[in-house]
Structure 1
Amino acid sequence: MSEEQKNFSRGRGFSLSRGLIFAVLCGYLVWVVYPVFWVAYSSLKPDAEIFRDAFALPSVDALMWENYARAWREARFGDYFFNSVLVTGVSVAAIVLLGAMAAYALSRFYHPLGKFTYWLFLAGLMIPVQLSIVPLFFELRALGLLDSRLGLILVYTANGLPFAIFILAGFFRALPASLYEAAVVDGCSEAGAFWRVMLPLARPGLVTVGIFQFIGIWKEYFFAFMFTSGGGEGAARTLPLGLANLSLTAQYRSEYGSLFAGVIVVTIPILILYLLMQKQLVKGITAGALKG
């Protein structure tokens, strides 16, 4: 076979490989996106139409916007939405801030107990959350923080710190020490060098941690159910519990239109956050891979 034929065969094989990969990725895209799209348009259909033809698009002249109103009003989604925004926002801010400070101190400065403390934090990643439920329950009850937003914030912050420290420590280790030294020579204190120089340079890591923690806390059900189910009506409950409450308000009838509407209400903030921050997320993951 001539050299030209060999090059042609290689090029054709490469094109076939690219075409196959593109087809697989398109199939995966449909596999992931279509269920979300199906839930979205099913939330605008009456239950009878969902059962009669589950995959048909809703009639334009008969869109059931009442499903969203029923979920928001009767299932108290307004209260749950406020609780989720407050708990998630404060928890993510605390995790990013405290995780950055701890990761910076543990990765940039030597201390006899520094490595032990770092591995102690990482041990939290290996402990199943189910094992911590009983001691956490009694601890929160002793502090009077059961059925409270503050109790959930403390639990989520403690649960998210090991991941944040693990990710951010790698970013801070990869930053050149000369930048820190230059800041100190220019008159910055230790705190000034951290806040003005080192922390802004770790922005990709901060964004990555913030997004992952936001998604995890926003959709978290287990802790919220265990620590807020005994409170008053919607006292500190979050949106995942609101979805379960839809079945209670419907007296366990199959009101799938309202249930799908509730799912969309829970999903929209995550989609908005991802669309706004996808570039920073990709940069953070790529930077972490290269620096690791």
Structure 2
Amino acid sequence: MSSLKTDREIFTSPWSLPSSLHFQNWSDAWNTANMGRYFLNSAVVVAGSLFGTMLLGAMAAYVLARFEFRGNRFIYYLFVGGMSFPIVLALVPLYFVLQNMEMLNTKHGLILVYIAYSLPFTVFFLTSFFKTLPTSVAEAAMIDGASHTRTFFQVMLPMAKPGLISIGIFNFLGQWNQYMLPYVLNQGEEKDKLLPQGLVELAVSQGYKGNWAVLFSGLLIAMIPVLAVYIIFQRQVQAGLTAGALK
């Protein structure tokens, strides 16, 4: 409601409906406040990192869940240990690593970092999920002549769709709202910043010029993708979270 009000209405009647709908606030946030460019930058980074996280995480989890080999548990617990590693402790090393690789202040550098920090929870979640899938289906595919790669991509991966959607939602939320990593690793030109960085700068600027209606519009722009994704996939999310209980 606040994104459709004037600044005066926001302060004089914050709980009431707007007297008229000021859609111009959304346009100002998208164009004047550069929320449109920040939104697209975030969309590119999150799309690339989400694809890489889901692909690599599913492959690693499948191997750890379905194959017995020396070091299986050790690798699995390494991923589990990665879940307890705070981002703050790695910011300085990450900065110099990306600088040495000439990927500092770049989208592909951020994508690789997002993938690395999303993999531990992804592998942990999907390993348990792959263990719930019936082995008879994979064995039947192997008997019919399918390779391990074909069995994984054409048989097991479609069966794991509820789990993939569930962990995909969690990764999307974490990566879309990530602020600390881009703040440290993406301090290049203004046009290359991500949406969380742009929102913070917009909020800070309110102390000097006070366009609160545009700020609320920017917040709404950041919220819409998250709400849309959950509304569309809410049934799959619930199915993925409860699948393990039905084993």
TM-score w.r.t. the length of structure 1 is 0.81
Question: What's the counterpart of residue 227 of structure 1?
Answer: 185
Unaligned runs of 5+ in 2: none
Unaligned runs of 5+ in 1: 1-40
Match of 1:239 among 195, 198, 211: 195
Question: What's the counterpart of residue 208 of structure 2?
Answer: 252
Sequence identity percentage: 45
Q: Name the CA distance, whole Å, in 2 between partners of 1:178 and 1:192.
A: 16
Query: What is the CA distance between 1:248 and its match in structure 2?
Result: 5.7
Match of 1:278 among 230, 234, 239: 234
Letter in 1 for 2:169: I
* Matched ranges for 1:156-167 at <5 A: 156-167=114-125
TM-score w.r.t. the length of structure 2 is 0.96
Match of 2:6 among 38, 46, 50: 46
Contact 1:70 1:258 in 2 (8 A): yes
Query: What is the CA distance between 1:246 and its match in structure 2?
Result: 1.6
Question: What's the counterpart of residue 190 of structure 1?
Answer: 148
Of the structure 1 ranges 123-132 and 249-258, higher mean CA displacement relative to structure 2 is found in: 249-258
Letter in 2 for 1:57: L
Question: What's the counterpart of residue 76 of structure 1?
Answer: 34
Question: What's the counterpart of residue 265 of structure 1?
Answer: 221
Question: 1:138-166: CA deviations, max 9, x gaps?
Answer: 11111111111111101110000011101
SS at match of 2:69: coil
Question: What's the counterpart of residue 161 of structure 2?
Answer: 203
Contact 1:75 1:245 in 2 (8 A): no
Query: What is the CA distance between 1:252 and its match in structure 2?
Result: 2.8
Letter in 1 for 2:237: L
Query: What is the CA distance between 1:52 and its match in structure 2?
Result: 1.0
Letter in 2 for 1:232: E
Contact 2:132 2:244 in 1 (8 A): no
SS at match of 1:126: coil
Match of 2:60 among 102, 105, 124: 102
Query: What is the CA distance between 1:289 and its match in structure 2?
Result: 3.6
Q: Name the CA distance, whole Å, in 1 between partners of 2:208 and 2:243.
A: 48
Match of 1:287 among 235, 243, 246: 243
Q: Does 1:130 align with 2:88?
A: yes
Letter in 2 for 1:234: K
* Larger of the two Rg values belongs to structure: 1
Match of 2:135 among 145, 164, 177: 177
More contact order relative to length (CA 8 Å, sep ≥ 6): 2
Letter in 2 for 1:190: H
Question: 1:232-288: CA deviations, max 9, x gaps?
Answer: 1222x1111111222466573322111100000000111111111011111101113
Contact 1:71 1:246 in 2 (8 A): no
SS at match of 2:191: coil
Q: Name the CA distance, whole Å, in 1 between partners of 2:35 and 2:9.
A: 24
Contact 2:5 2:18 in 1 (8 A): yes
Match of 1:59 among 7, 13, 19: 19
SS at match of 2:190: coil
1:186–1:124 Cα change, 3 Å: same
